[in-house]
Amino acid sequence: MKIFDTHCHPHLNHIKNTDETIRNFFENWWIYMTVIWTDLNKNKKALEIANKYDWVFASIGIHPCDIDGLVIEKTINEMRKVYLENKWKIVAIWECWLDYYWMEKELKPHSCPKDTPSAKFSSPFQEKEATEKMDILKRQQELFFIAQIELARELSLPIIIHNRESKNDVLKILQKTDFKNFIFHCYSEDLEYAQKLIEFSPNCKISFSWIVTFKNAHDIQETAKNIPLKNILAETDSPYLTPTPFRWREENEALYTKYVIEKISELRWTDCSEEIFQNSMEIFGIKKS
């Protein structure tokens, strides 16, 4: 089985160190991985790892939750410079996108439990202030999203999309910019939304993580079962999201991409490993050596 973990963060493991998790991956004859980082300083660390291992690649970008205080033009210029100095190792722009989940949690009244679906504000003024701040933050995320899309277009790179509770706005921005070279990372929406993405961009990639292995992940499993195989990737998002059968027992790592692929193959009643591997090579523009 040839495996490409298209999205992992080996530097964030707490129990195993970075080199150990990478060695575990390659010693089991898995082939490639893309190391994902989310701010300019960590982008440099990603490149250190990628340059240390022949078959490790990196992405560069700014997570939507890390844009506070950044100047768009300056940030994009820095990203462009990093790419031009390391273009043989950088295969994507990440993490573009919108994340309304953390934004909403931060703006809820402090007296509310963190998982309360709807918060009650102490006054109309407090609610108005929070709503206005939300609108500003959404606009900032949208501007950074579009700026990184345009950089990806300039550099002929795919973008890796991070979406949390913002799927409709993500699709609107992709349509508005007419940008179709994207990976939808850690897919957690339903089949209908995946079909909308594929209708807009027939060659886009939908990347499935550990979540597809869970018994109650019916919408995600239905998606993995029914979308065209050419649109499917696999990832771990490690050290987060440990898959069955290791959930609750240990940290996730790139080695466990195998279980994601096996679950997709089980759902589709055929071994999908070769096709998923080739999809990964294609979207990242990697040619066999």
Q: Work out the end-to-end distance of the chain between its first and last CA atoms, rounded to an integer number of angstroms.
A: 18
Mapped onto helix, strand or coil, the DSSP state of residue 225 is helix
How is the chain split into domains, by residue range? 4-284
Instruction: Please state, in angstroms and rounded to a whole number, the distance separating the CA atoms of residues 159 and 43.
Output: 15
**CB atoms closer than 10 angstroms to residue 172:** 12
Q: Identify the burial level of 21 via C-beta atoms within 10 angstroms of its C-beta, where 0-12 means exposed, 13-18 middle and 19 or more buried.
A: buried
Q: What is the CATH number of domain 4-284?
A: 3.20.20.140
Q: How far apart are CA 234 and CA 232, in angstroms?
A: 7
What does the pLDDT profile of the chain (289 residues) look like in tens digits? 789 999 987 877 777 778 888 888 888 767 788 876 655 665 567 788 888 888 889 888 877 667 777 788 998 998 999 899 999 999 999 765 555 555 555 555 444 444 444 555 555 656 666 667 777 777 888 888 899 999 999 999 999 997 776 688 899 999 999 999 999 999 999 999 999 999 999 999 999 998 999 889 999 999 999 999 999 999 988 887 776 667 666 788 888 899 999 999 999 999 999 999 999 999 999 976 5
pTM of the model: 0.85
Are 147 and 76 spatial neighbours (Cβ–Cβ below 8 Å)?
yes
Residue type, 145: F
The DSSP code sequence of 115-133 is T-SS---SSHHHHHHHHHH
